[in-house]
Chain A
């Protein structure tokens, strides 16, 4: 459903850009359900480093991932200034910790560049394209790859 909407959206795509570990990333605006201020989460025992824990989103328990750790960068020191981007993966809400939200980028899909070949499998999987914005490189996150399946990640 959502995918269809995304592919039909050929004229102008809108992305929300944010920083993770000092690097600029973005997600398609239609993928994002809401953006919340960081508040301490409940730690899950035996969870991998990139799973910060779970959060109460209006009565629902949602997992929170540290994007930075997920990308193999250093762990984010979560603070009040950080944000949790709530996205929907496989119809389930998932929270992603980012340092800060920057802006909304409107771009012609044709201007999205392919990810150049680099020597990291993870990076290739997680980044599905690159946008050049004000001479800065903004990486488009492949959400499905980052959060393949909640169960899989936790195990």
Chain B
């Protein structure tokens, strides 16, 4: 139970930290809107409140300092200058660390912690102590001021220990001592039950006490004293005073906290309710703020609670949201995938049917298809999330990386609202971190070098996300020195990754960076280059069905672009047949389709062929032979050509035998089924239950246009196959 509440707290913390980062980023941009400052303040405040409830003292203490400084900002006592903003950023990073530590265990960097506390303390104004900001909370860490604190109440306590109490080693004297700490206590022994000496039984408890305690403390404090002997004694607590008024107040408060009065009664044996009701005992959410002075009418407390809740809701986003387990969404997505397969099976069955008129059925089937598509899009939209949180985390990476390298770099993010599948976002974090660290560590030059080169001493890294025709494109562009191609080539040769005499184009050299075992860092720095190179990035992106490219201009910087499929589950595909096999080509890759004839084919060299399209010539790539399904190079002009465009803008005509259909297909990963198959990105299940390969035009084109090695490889596999 506590675990799940804590989970909820940490989930909320994530959101609050995001809100805080977003707010700080806005402030850094020059947004002085009090509402933005308030939003950050509220976020810190809520984290503190929640942390207090769980007794996370370190977190509370730090958040309190942070908040205090921010409170001064809020009340315009502090000027927000660059230095303060940087401090606030560091503080917010540290707060995130503290939250992580509290969640996962582990230790924060104590030195860093102390430095930040000291730095924050510098900003704390003198009169801060008088502001007496009462921390809110619902845990024992903060004793909320009781409603009845002003008046001292006299409690009559009757206490009769059972013999079990003595058996467990409890001692009434200590209990009384604890009570006397609460207020003036008078104790009267009641020995009326004491039998005659001869009737007395060894170990039985005959004594009871009547105590009178005058205290300003609430009833719960008294109950707390007896907490450890609960069930081991007969205890009744009753109070004098204006019983009726108290009962009214209780009723009102119970109403305010949505609690039945009966519930309260369970807690005590007293015949008359006279407790000062404690929000501590109610299952009120952490946001409920109860720091009312005792004189404040109870109605005000009731008003306050929803107001506080509303505030909390505001911080976590303007729209009401629903937290759903990812598993449930995934199950739904799988079910929708099956539905789409089911639809195509049904369609196929109906087409095979020997019925004279299937038009009505087909109309309905079309409706089915539309609905299935709507559901699918809806489900995918649930998984789709803006990249903003990811980008915000990256801002921190750049901050830390700059601090570690002594460089100054600024992260500019564009397209934060671009929505990407949740899994993609999660799995992008590592590769992006790596790329950004690289950009700061290797890309951006030292400030003095930048100044010497006539650049702004502050390096700029642009992180862009955008949708581009069915895929998501994420770019990291720095304005650093660009890649040192000569050095890269030399390193690759030194490490034996490429032969010494090989001629490489610029882009080939750039892509050497992605080779496993390539790392340009001369010594293993703390930052990037821990022996793992950019191949990790490439693997992570490839695992998501994406591609990563690198381009660079010396002196002007380099750019990493990651291209990812929009969804991981379903895509639009063109169903084609290749050498008798049914295959699917992603629609997004196809620019144009056309039926060829002999006039359009032109030979080039010994076995190169070009397709002429409206005056331009495009290389032809025979899919069947490229996949090793047909040994002879194609000679049939009557095939169908799919004009595809690769990422770097090259065009190629894929020759297939026929086009059957265009439909939505469910992507079934081949991961773990058969490893990496060249030319194939995944598989899908067709209407007849058969599996069709989903082709990867990019890799087919690359394979056929370059590398004679691949060609021999292909022939060899053909030889094996035949």
Chain A interface (Cβ < 8 Å from any Cβ of B): 40-49, 51, 53-56, 59-63, 92, 150-155
Contact = CB atoms under 8 A, between A and B. Distances in A.
Nearest to B722: A49
A63 B98 CA distance: 47
B672 A44 contact: no
Interface of B: 338, 341, 581, 627-629, 668-670, 672-680, 683, 685, 689-693, 713-714, 717, 720-721
B672 A92 contact: yes
Contacts of A62: 673
Listed from nearest, the 3 A-B pairs whose CB atoms lie closest are: A45-B627, A151-B675, A154-B674
B690 A42 contact: yes
13 contacts: A42-B683, A43-B581, A44-B680, A44-B693, A45-B627, A45-B628, A45-B677, A51-B674, A54-B674, A61-B691, A151-B674, A154-B674, A154-B675
Contacts, number: 82
Given A45-B629, A46-B717, A54-B683, A63 B689 contact: no
A46 B692 contact: no
Contact of B691 (A56, A152, A153): A56
Residue from B341, B629, B721 whose CB has the most chain A CB atoms within 10 Å: B721
Contacts of A61: 668-670, 673, 683, 685, 691
Nearest to A48: B720
Contacts of B693: 42, 44-45
A44 B677 contact: yes
Nearest to A49: B720
B581 A42 contact: yes
B676 A54 contact: no
A61 B686 CA distance: 12
Contact of A45 (B678, B690, B691): B678
Contacts of B341: 59
Contacts of A47: 674, 677, 717
A63 B674 CA distance: 7
Contacts of A49: 720-721
Nearest to B713: A46
A100 to B, nearest CB: 24
Contacts of B670: 54, 61
A60 B629 CA distance: 24
Given A59-B341, A61-B668, A44 B690 contact: no
B622 to A, nearest CB: 13
A77 to B, nearest CB: 14
Query: Which of B341, B672, B674 counts the most chain A CB atoms within 10 A?
Result: B674
Contact of A56 (B628, B676, B689): B689
B671 to A, nearest CB: 9
A43 B629 contact: yes
A46 B676 CA distance: 10
A154 B675 CA distance: 6
A97 B683 CA distance: 21
Nearest to A60: B668
B680 A155 contact: no
- Interface centre among B668, B672, B678, B685, by most chain A C-beta atoms within 10 angstroms, is B672
Contacts of B628: 45-46
